[in-house]
Amino acid sequence: MNFLQKLFHSSKKREPRNLKVDIHSHLLPGIDDGAKTTYESIKMIKAYKNMGYQKLITTPHIMWHRYKNSSEIIMEKLEYLKDALADHEVEIEIEAASEYYLDEHFAKLLAKKEILTFGENYLLFEMSYTRAPKDLREIVFDIEMAGYKPVLAHPERYIFMHDGFDEYEELKELGVYFQLNLNSLAGQYSKNVQKIALELINRRMVDFLGSDVHKLSQTETLKKVLESDTLQDIFKKNRILNNTLL
């Protein structure tokens, strides 16, 4: 190995992490199934910081049968957490949006345009893991007509979409962005979810990466995924938009 090769080799090793922005997590304390206390939130956020993240867009659930959150509740909690982070001298950019569950309440919010978005009008949504909403195509259309860009959270987790790739391809054709959960690659959910996640990467269908961290132990899994070669592979094969949000 000559000098230049050595330099290139070592600089490659010191290359900063590719992923600087996270767009999916449950870090606001006590309002969904994520962080339970402020202490836990702060520990989790410190872990992200140590992994090289510069900006976190946290996304509490709005899921009317379980978490009756509103834009106001989320934004108030965000301000509260920002103050707590300042008190603990944790410097990181943090914003909030929501992970909207497709239900009747969401339809009402959409009609009123009472939606928390991130970046340029991206709207993060999820649905039942086992059953497709019967009017999914219409909902996607309504989201787009209202001026939002639909981002499907963890497409790999929807069991009803696992037979073949037609459903995924159709959604992409409708203009839906896909946000993969990094921890799916570590097998956090199931072997099958892991397999579909890899397939989405190989088919170059991934637009955003998310941590979807709910508790501290999941940041450990995330760290392992970020340190794996898979992350580089994702960036090679897909146009990942996270860092455009810095």
Site for Fe ion, rule CB under 5 A:
99, 212
- 102 neighbors 139 (Cβ within 8 angstroms): yes
Cα–Cα distance list, 103 to 45, 95, 134, 145, 158 (Å): 30, 24, 11, 18, 16
| Residue nearer to Fe ion on the CB measure, 156 or 212 | 212
| Residue nearer to Fe ion on the CB measure, 182 or 237 | 182
- The CA distance from 179 to 210, in Å, is 6
Q: Which residue has the tokens 């939002």?
A: 148
| Residue nearer to Fe ion on the CB measure, 22 or 241 | 22
- The CA distance from 182 to 238, in Å, is 14
| Residue nearer to Fe ion on the CB measure, 85 or 124 | 124
- The CA distance from 47 to 53, in Å, is 9
Q: How far is the CB of 26 from Fe ion (least distance, A)?
A: 6
Of the candidates 10, 139, 28, 140, which has an alpha carbon nearest to the alpha carbon of residue 84?
28
Q: How far is the CB of 125 from Fe ion (least distance, A)?
A: 11
Of the candidates 40, 28, 33, which has an alpha carbon nearest to the alpha carbon of residue 80?
28
| Residue nearer to Fe ion on the CB measure, 99 or 207 | 99
| The amino acid at 226 | L
Cα–Cα distance list, 108 to 27, 112, 197 (Å): 26, 6, 32
Residue least distant from Fe ion (Cβ): 212
Q: How far is the CB of 161 from Fe ion (least distance, A)?
A: 17
| Residue nearer to Fe ion on the CB measure, 8 or 187 | 187
Q: How far is the CB of 50 from Fe ion (least distance, A)?
A: 22
Q: How far is the CB of 111 from Fe ion (least distance, A)?
A: 24
Q: How far is the CB of 44 from Fe ion (least distance, A)?
A: 14
